[in-house]
Amino acid sequence: MRKQEILIIESRSDQDIYDGRCEGDTLKRVLQLQGVNAKSIEVINEKMFIKALNIAKRENIKYIHISAHGFDEGFSLTDGDIVTWRDFDRLAWPILRGKCICFSSCSVGNGVAELFTLHKSFCNAIVAPTRNISWGEGLVAYSAFYHRTQSHEKSSSQNVKVMNHIVGAGTFKLIESPYILRTYTIGAFMNNIL
């Protein structure tokens, strides 16, 4: 079996669980149809979130996809705890160094760049929405994004433009690391983006 290259970490609200709304397993199935091997983990609290982040230490995992309810200052876990950007730095540094983080969390794109002020090498790049998004918008946009990461000819900035073409201009943005901007083609390394 091929190694997983995308780790999906999802933390739904209690209402989402009750209503049966989720992104992680659906995105994993879409990726499998595209021939991409992904792992999806649902976390409900900080202890489980840390455990899931430790899976990201695997060298073959290049993309960390976080699906949770978000806002400018961070995101929330199922148990209601808020993970601020300082908290996320404390929990995830240096685990996510060398990875690309993709948030499917409302509005986190407005504040997540703070991670690079805490550690300029926190990760290689971040893709995040700058407004409230629906479950469907996140799923469709990231399905297209990950599909495009299978090609060496496509850059992350082009991929984010496609996401915005699908769900609306300015919805998603690419936040580049000031340390090293490198993204990955699924299955191989991709050179620095120009």
Here the tokens at position 138 are 């996140």
Q: How far is it, in rounded angstroms, from Cα 102 to Cα 126?
A: 6
| Rounded CA separation 141/168 (Å) | 10
- Asked whether the predicted pLDDT for residue 76 surpasses 90, the reply is yes
Instruction: For residue 68, give the 3-state DSSP assignment.
Output: strand
Return d(Cα 67, Cα 42) in angstroms, integer. 9
Rounded to 5°, the CA angle 85-44-83 comes to 10
Alpha helices in the chain (DSSP H): 14-19, 24-33, 46-55, 85-92, 114-118, 135-148, 156-167
Give the CA-trace dihedral at 35, 56, 78, 108, to 10 degrees.
-90
pLDDT digits (tens, 9 = 90+) for 127-154: 999 999 999 999 999 999 999 999 888 8
Bridge partners (DSSP) listed for residue 188: 185
Cα–Cα distance measured from residue 111 to residue 9, given in angstroms and rounded to the nearest whole number: 20
Burial 132-141, CB ≥16 within 10 A → b, else e: ebeeebbbeb
Tell me the per-residue pLDDT of 91-123, one tens digit each, with 9 for 90 and over. 999 999 999 999 999 999 999 999 999 999 999
User: Tens digit of pLDDT for each residue in 152-191?
Assistant: 888 889 999 999 999 999 999 999 998 877 777 885 433 3
First-last CA distance in the chain: 34
What pLDDT is stored for residue 43 in this prediction?
98
